[in-house]
Structure 1
Amino acid sequence: MSTTLEKPRPTEPAAFAAEERSTSTSVHRPGPPLANWLRAHGRDLLWLLPVLLISAVVNFLNLGGSPQRIDDEGTYTAQAWAVTHLGELAHYTYWYDHPPLGWLQIAGYTQLTGAFERWDIAVLAGREAVLVAALVSVVLLWALARRLGMSRGAAAATGLLFALSPLAVQFHRTVYLDNIAVPWLLLAFFLAMNRRGQLAAFAGSALAFGIAVLTKETFLLALPVLIWVMVRAARRETRRYTLSVAASILVLIGGSYLLLAAVKGELFSGAGRVSLIEGVTFQLGSREGSGSLADPDSLLNRTLGMWWQLDPVFIVLSLLSATAALFLPRFRPYALLLWGMTVFMLRPGGYLPVPYVIMLIPFGALLIAGVTDGAIARLRRKNATRRGLALGAVSVAAIGAVVAVPLWTTQLRGFVLADLDEPLRSAQGWLIENASPDQRLIVDDAMWVDLVKAGWDRDNVIWYYKLDTDPAVQTQSPNGWRDADYVVTTDSMRTFPGAFPQVQEAIDNSVVVARFGSGTQAVEVRRVTIDGAEQAAMTAEAAEANRAALGAQLATNPEVALSDQDRDRLTAGQVDARIIAVLATLAGSGSVSVSGFPIVSGEDGMTFRQVALSAIDGSPAVVDGVLGPDAKALVESLDGTYEPADVAIDGDTVVLRYSVSLQSTLP
């Protein structure tokens, strides 16, 4: 493509020249400022508002169902919750792995809107915050596109690509700090292109960029391109002054992070304390790399494969557009930014964070729409040179749209209909109903806040990552994994086998007591056994044989009324020994009618530990919605080992539920 399309002034892009012309020809109109503003920007709003509405609807629909909550977003949510509810910078020792400004912004949003109180699942409050940030990014992308001279239709397309690509929806719905940083980065570029009031604009750009970096440190990679945009836009007569002010502000913002660490006495490494130097060293040097692109089992391959599976069309069109945009001066900085970050993430031995792509998505959308818009404009001009290249660009965009429609339809349908988080919610609910708050849990951080809110002491809910890495947690668990009662395994915990020895020991020395979902969404609740899983299996086998023998005797007792299916469960040893003992006692003094052995959710194929009773000694178990006299007397008489963990009325039956037990309880 030729650069004749741009027709720039000798030292500035066409977009800046257009802004100058529109400024010089503007006419002051009498009337209220708001009315004047609406009159001037009415057409823009007619394009922008539908884009915002569509983006909000698609992204907020089924917010709690897809994708499944993951450990990282649980961590950032828990840190924000700790700020507002515990008055602390993090729910564990803050060790400078990331600057805290990202979750401080989430905390501020939730505090202002009451998001933590409005959502039953804490992570959803965080998701609401990052989606609001995404909508702000749509507005800023629109403004940046218009400042680059793109048509209103192309600016709208930029917003829709950014908001509706399945790759974008997946990550915009996830609580990543990158989502909070994106609007600040876009604001920085928008202000850097300002031609009026450049001192204030450049200062604002530096401030916005500093906030972006202190939100997610990887955004520092965009600094060379931002400097380029500023230098290119700066007026020659004030360039030295405006750029010096911007640089000073950026240094001051970065210095504030150093000052925070220095005030806390945590700038340099020392015995028994965290430090900023250690955090930076970990992120830049000692962190294990993502492996090689040639290794199909590497983290790099898995991450790129996940991105590709979500939206290959967007990825291909972004790279093709970035290549074409290298020949268009107004888009060249953003093309180099996208290509530079793409090359950087493929560097040998480097670590590739999964959310790295979030920073690339807005610029990919901008370049796809911008290059296509420029090609269409060229085709409309008479006697335009290189019309073949423009036609080729439009054709590629059209083919991409044809391929993307069915792909996006399928992917977006999944986002708005699938309930991928159901296994994690169910496991969380199982713990709240069946485990005791005085029991110690090793969990994925995605459920940390919810369990603490449900009554667990924060020291009894252990984020699995900390059991092997945090000295404070290790002090509270002097016996390591043996001090835990339950470990809840998720895909995050299964992704790094052996990376956390204590967690792996807890998993290896535990048995599954509840299972929810399948595949990568599977969540298992496991009861830790001090004697080891092998011994627990032997004990369980002996207990099952004992239950089968006793159940066979009970099944032949004429005083026990039950269905053939429930009789088979008794004789197969599938019913909890405490229930067998209670039924035997009731049969010894009268009669009992069993309506069934209801399955606790998640415990299919495991021992039945609930029993529903409809009558005791001929008297109804439930009368007018309350326990009958005999049922009430039974419940009051059960204590010690045979006291149920829960008593509930279900229609005309009373349901006794016993706690999880790995030991035989019958004499």
Structure 2
Amino acid sequence: MSASITNTTGIPIRGAVAGDHAGISAWFRRHAASLTWLLPVVAITVIVQAWNMSGTPQRIDDEGTYTAQAWAIMHLGEITHYTYWYDHPPLGWIQIAGYTGLTGAFARYPFAVEAGREAMVFFSAVSSILLFVLARRLGAGRITAAAAGLVFALSPLALQYHRTVYIDNVATPWLLAAFVLVLSRRQQLAGFAGAAACLGIAVLSKETYLLALPFLVWMAVRRADRSTRRYTLSVAGAVLVIIGGGYLLLAAVKGELLPGSGRVSLFEGITYQLGSRSASGSLFDPGSLANAAASQWWALDPVFIVLGSASAVVGLFLRRVRPIAAMLVFLLAMMFRPNGYLPVPYVIMLIPFAALLVAYTAERAVLSIAGRVRTRTRLGTGTRRGLGITWAVTTAVALVVSVPLWGTQLRGFVLGNLDLPMQQAEQWVGDNVSKSSRLLVDDAMWVDLVEDGFARNNVVWYYKLDTDGAVERQSPNGWKDSDYVITTDSMRTGGNSSSDVRQAIENSTAVATFGSGDQQVEVRRIHAEGRTAAQTAITRASDLRKTMGTELASNPALRADDGTKSQFRAGQVDSRAMIALGQVLADQDVRVDRFTPLTGETGQPFRTAVLHTSDVASAERVAATLDAMSESFRPASVEREGERLTVTYTPADPTTTATSAS
């Protein structure tokens, strides 16, 4: 029986030669063994990534941006939801838009980013398939290829960033496809041209993937037939240049290739990314952004980071994977360059190749121990076996250590709901903030709030407040033209570079707070008059509520326990509710339950009161009294169950206190 490699997948099969079988059923029969290993891995990838993807991790600003840009393509017919300034090539979110448009993903979820996360599941599944095929083309066994896929799917480091809407996840399958195609044994011209096209798409999805070019060329040179090498490499190079030139052509057609007055340009976007962008600092500086990014990675999966890095070094001594190992070592070294910029999602590009090398080097170690490695080497059999035992033990120890660590982390991904504060804040804003208000927001909320009825120009991504000329023209007074700022961890950290955003936060007071720590989300009322004047007004309003509450607590018609009366006297009850209650008490006795804050409003004046009357008729009379009040004092809702009424008011401006119902 002879072994051959198929033109399409490169999966070695035995007992088959080209042309022996035809049709789909024959293809499945030939690849049954490989599919038996591959399909469960892909299923695990999809299930683990999709399960509770809306709960963990919490949505962040970056994925809101890519989601909003994809949404803008589908709903606004524009390439971005703000001025496109060539910070990244657009093909990444164009592909996200294509997926969401074809599948109707935006219509399936209450929060837009979830649609983007569903797209990430798709791209990860494709990456898993291509990683399996790449491992097989490099000579790995089916079990090894499946193991690489499982590491790619189950590592907490991978899961965290694969779930997040990053354009790096869109670029990854294209880069893997490029390596798969460059390993084509037959039809090399088509394979090399396809590899160049895939790399071009990867780079136009995320520009940092251009770093893989030298190593893809290395592998192409090694694999190319000597008789046609110059021709096939030239064609591949031309394909790559043409695809890259398409991006230049886009800028040229828009008249934005070079800088000019009052316009963005591709040149400025490139110089920003390569030179003028603020450096991340040193990995060894505890206060640097680079250190913060690396610390995030380390907290998620230190075992995979150490083993993957070590596998890259080991892989340098294995001829078949040497270009990939060298690429991984190079990408790791790039993290240590001085005055460079280290983006948080940088690690996404490294994950599939680290997973591949972990599995591949482990397989080589086992084969060395078994004496089944046939390679040209100066090392004796005993030395190879000793090195194999050392690496096999190292991998086994890492596996044992990683199991409990992965178990704990994966439980959090499957069961946690870190995004709940974000969801609650969006719900609160939708229910309690006037649709005519102007909001400064994290981009993760932008699409949701626009679809909820807020005017597009009134929902301002905080990053654009003082960096986009169109937004600045809409806000001639800067932060003072906004009514609310909704702060998240992304805004509290990334917004520090903006004076306007910083002042908006400093000159505002929280009216609703959800969650705690890094997951905390605050809805804050902005005070254009400034923090000092606002604090004076807030203190005055609190004193007025105390005076009103003290008078109400002494009303003989009020039936309440001492704790409830203390809440009145402490000025903790909304003045509108107290004025309305005073009107009701003039007609009849009413019992008032102890006040409790609504979700997110701990520390705010209580605006929901639960009243009890003597009978149903009295409750109807109270409801009629409340309904007859002027608009300023009429409750937002009155829910009646028998003689029990739940009265709720809209949130009030903390700097004001209503004092009269007349």
Task: From the superposition, tell whether residues 359 and 553 of structure 1 become closer, same or farther in structure 2 (CA, over 3 Å).
Answer: same
**Alpha-carbon distance change, 156 to 539 in structure 1, aligned in 2, over 3 angstroms:** same
TM-score computed with the length of structure 1 as normaliser: 0.93
Structure-1 residue corresponding to 2:635: 644
Going from structure 1 to structure 2, the CA distance change for 1:492 and 1:20 (only over 3 Å counts) comes to closer
Q: How many residues align?
A: 646
Task: Say if 2:199 is the partner of 1:201.
Answer: no
**Aligned pair 1:274/2:264, yes or no?**
yes
For 2:331 and 2:125, locate their aligned partners in 1 and report how far apart those are by CA, in whole Å.
Answer: 24
1:620 Cα deviation from its structure 2 partner = 4.8
Structure-2 separation of matches of 1:648 and 1:441: 30
Aligned partners of 1:649, 1:92: CA distance in 2, in Å? Answer: 47
Corresponding letter in the other structure for 2:400: V
Does the 8 A contact of 2:73 with 2:97 survive in 1? yes
Q: Displacement of 1:646 after TM fit?
A: 4.1
Amino acid at match of 2:529: D
Which of residues 389, 412, 419 in structure 1 aligns to 2:417? Answer: 419
Q: 2:153 aligns with which of 145, 163, 167?
A: 163
Q: What letter matches 1:45 in structure 2?
A: L
For structure 2, list consecutive stretches of 5 or more residues without a partner in the other structure.
373-380
| Aligned equivalents of 1:291, 1:112: Cα separation in 2 | 42
Q: Residues of 2 paired with 1:630 and 1:434: CA distance?
A: 27
Query: Contact conserved, 2:251 with 2:257, CA < 8 A, in 1?
Result: yes
Contact 2:510 2:522 in 1 (8 A): yes
Counterpart in the other structure of 1:658? 650
Alignment of 1:507-522 (within 5 A): 507-522=505-520
- Structure 2 residue identity aligned to 1:509: N
- Of 209, 219, 227 in structure 2, the residue corresponding to residue 237 of structure 1 is 227
Report matched runs for 1:94-105 at 5 Å. Answer: 94-105=84-95
TM-superposed CA distance for 1:131, in Å, is 1.6
Deviations along 1:541-590, one digit per CA (max 9) or x if unpaired, are: 22222212221221222223334432221111100111111111122233
Which residue, out of 30, 45, 52, partners 2:42?
Answer: 52
| C-alpha contact (below 8 Å) 2:21/2:27 kept by paired residues | no
Pick the aligned partner of 2:498 from 487, 492, 500.
500
- Residue in structure 2 matched with residue 67 of structure 1 by the alignment: 57
Q: Deviations over 1:358-403 (max 9, x none)?
A: 0000010011111111111111127565211111110110111011
3-state DSSP class of the match of 1:524? strand
Q: How does 1:513-552 map onto structure 2 within 5 Å?
A: 513-552=511-550
Residue among 543, 564, 576 paired with 1:578: 576
The residue type equivalent to 2:550 in the other structure is A
C-alpha separation in 2, matches of 1:649 and 1:315:
59
Q: What code does the residue aligned with 2:545 have?
A: R
Alpha-carbon distance in 1 for matches of 2:167, 2:538:
46
Q: Structure 1: state its 5+ residue gaps.
A: 1-13, 622-628
- 1:626 is matched with none
The 2-side partners of 1:123 and 1:216 are apart by 19
Measure how far apart 1:44 and its partner are: 0.6
Taking the aligned partners of 2:181 and 2:11, their CA distance within structure 1 comes to 18
CA distance in 2, matches of 1:491, 1:650: 41
Q: Give the distance between the partners of 2:187 and 2:411, measured in 1 at CA.
A: 46
Deviation larger for 281-290 or 379-388: 379-388
SS of the residue 1:330 aligns to: helix
Q: Contact 2:369 / 2:384 at 8 angstroms: preserved in 1?
A: no
Q: 2:565 aligns with which of 544, 564, 567?
A: 567
Distance 1:250 1:83 in 2: 26
Preserved contact between residue 103 and residue 177 of structure 1 (Cα < 8 Å): yes
| Residues 274-313 of structure 1: pairs in structure 2 closer than 5 A | 274-313=264-303
**Structure 1 partner of 2:377:** none
TM-score normalised by the chain length of structure 2? 0.94
The amino acid that maps onto 2:364 is: G
Q: Which amino acid aligns with 2:305?
A: I
**2:382 & 2:28 partners in 1: Cα distance?**
36
Moved more, 632-641 or 459-468: 632-641
The one-letter amino acid paired with 1:369 is A
| Distance in 2 of aligned mates of 1:570 and 1:438 | 33
CA distance in 1, matches of 2:104, 2:226: 48
2:76 equivalent to 1:86: yes
| Alpha carbons 1:142, 1:159 under 8 Å: kept | yes
The 3-state SS of whatever aligns with 1:468 is coil
Q: Is 1:434 aligned with 2:432?
A: yes
Distance 1:189 1:554 in 2: 77
Q: CA deviation at 1:595?
A: 4.1
1:610 and 2:608 aligned? yes
1:418 Cα offset (Å): 1.3
- Equivalent position SS for 2:632: helix
Aligned residue among 601, 617, 620 for 1:619: 617
CA deviation after TM superposition for structure 1 residue 647, in Å: 4.3
Indicate which of 107, 113, 116 corresponds to 1:123.
113
Counterpart of 1:129 in structure 2: which amino acid?
A
2:378 match: none
SS in 1 for 2:31: helix
One-letter identity of the residue aligned with 2:178: A
Task: Within 5 Å, give how 1:627-642 maps onto structure 2.
Answer: 629-642=620-633
Residues 66 and 415 in structure 1, CA contact (< 8 A), matched pair in contact too: yes
Q: Which of 536, 540, 556 matches 1:558?
A: 556
Please give the per-residue CA displacement for 1:40-74, whole angstroms capped at 9, x wherever unaligned: 11111111111112222221111111111000000
Give the counterpart letter for 1:141 in structure 2: L
Query: Structure 2 vs 1, CA of residues 33 and 284 (structure 1 numbering), >3 Å: closer, same or farther?
Result: same
2:122 aligns with 132
Q: Map residues 95-494 of structure 1 onto 2, 5 A cutoff.
A: 95-381=85-371, 383=381, 385-494=383-492
Query: What SS does the aligned partner of 1:641 have?
Result: coil
Q: Deviations over 1:502-545 (max 9, x none)?
A: 01111111111111111111111111112222322222222222
Structure 2 CA distance, aligned partners of 1:649 and 1:312?
Answer: 56
Counterparts in 2 of 1:214 and 1:650: CA distance versus 1, 3 Å? farther
Paired-residue identity, %? 53
AA at the equivalent of 1:279: G
What SS does the aligned partner of 1:512 have? strand
Letter in 1 for 2:542: E
Bigger shift: residues 384-393 or 219-228: 384-393
CA RMSD of aligned residues (A): 2.2
